[in-house]
A = this chain, B = another copy of it.
Amino acid sequence: MSTPLFPAASFAALRARLAALPVFDENAAALAAARQGQLTKPPGSLGRLEDVAVFMAGWRQAERPRVETAQALVFAGNHGVCAQGVNPYPQEVTAQMVANFQAGGAAVNQLCRASGAVLQVVALELDRPTQDFTQGAAMSEAEVLAAMAQGAAAVNAQADILLLGEMGIGNSTVAAALATALFGGTAADWAGPGTGADEAVMARKITAIEAGLARHAVVRGDALAVLAAFGGREQAAICGAILAARMQRIPVLLDGFICTAAAAVLEALGVGALAHCLAAHVSAEPGHARLLEKLGKIPLLALGMRLGEGSGAAVALGVVRAALEAHNGMSTFAEAGVSGA
């Protein structure tokens, strides 16, 4: 049905394939919207639950879409920019947390169990961090494409929805660098405390981002080159997974600041590559609300979460499930013998 996107030999080859992304099925969405109007409730009274049901219908091409399989993918990577002292945690924590995910002990494990998502963790060459972006490009074009392909390959074609998350000590610095390079403003506009940076760490984050922006000024305006410049592998894998999901009409729940900053690379390609993505939540990380505004995405949840790992996406899956249960299971006014207005 759809041309596979990966492997791609170059950014140019990949970009050429993005011209024909599957689009929202307006007919299926219209059928779902008409059904919403007949259910035993005042029209519109389920608010965003109604929007989510119609959104799912359009992407899944079904008047009554179901989520039988929900896949959660957490990509993990390490970052050379940690050499600049941008994170209070040692870099070993990335691998330790991957082990924690695999043992079932992290937040995202519990939250996926609670909402019925199958969690899979993909560790991306943790013993080979990307290059420090203050010193050079974080990744080569080939490295970016390889990580994207790995992200794409991890997507379960049978999934009805895909939840995306990440883990990587230092990656809130990477995310802020990506956001600044893509949307402008200063590093201070986009950088936040992440896992809990104090004033000194914050200052080093901002200095590192500004240094990276100065070094890679030439790539701004070329989103995939921006991704290569600042990294990391988990951001590239998230982009690959979003695109693979799109090819299979699988809607995506984006998690927090770092996941959204990765997705923003695709948005900057100007082909509507995030049309099948919902913003699961708005993080406490201050740049996230601004980023969602740039992407025109209204988050489903605002719970002050700032953990990443796909934790917000896992909680938001509960809202999507609620939306579809109501949409699929409610009686119509006619079925229930309830009088209209």
Contact = CB atoms under 8 A, between A and B. Distances in A.
Interface centre among A42, A326, A329 (most CB of B within 10 A): A326
Give chain A's interface residue range (CB within 8 Å of chain B).
Answer: 35 or more
Question: How many copies altogether?
Answer: 2
25 contacts: A40-B106, A46-B305, A47-B284, A48-B303, A89-B341, A92-B339, A96-B337, A96-B339, A97-B338, A99-B336, A99-B337, A100-B338, A105-B336, A109-B330, A110-B322, A110-B325, A110-B329, A111-B325, A111-B326, A114-B322, A114-B326, A115-B318, A302-B302, A311-B326, A318-B318
Interface string A88-118: 1110110011011001111101110111000
Given A103-B331, A196-B341, A300 B300 contact: no
A110 to B, nearest CB: 4
B115 A322 contact: yes
Contacts of A322: 110-111, 114-115, 314-315, 318
Given A96-B338, A322-B314, A329-B113, A107 B47 contact: no
A39 interface: yes
A205 interface: no
Interface of A: 39-49, 88-90, 92-93, 96-97, 99-100, 103-107, 109-111, 113-115, 195-196, 284, 300-307, 311, 314-315, 318-319, 321-322, 325-326, 328-331, 335-341
Contacts of A340: 89
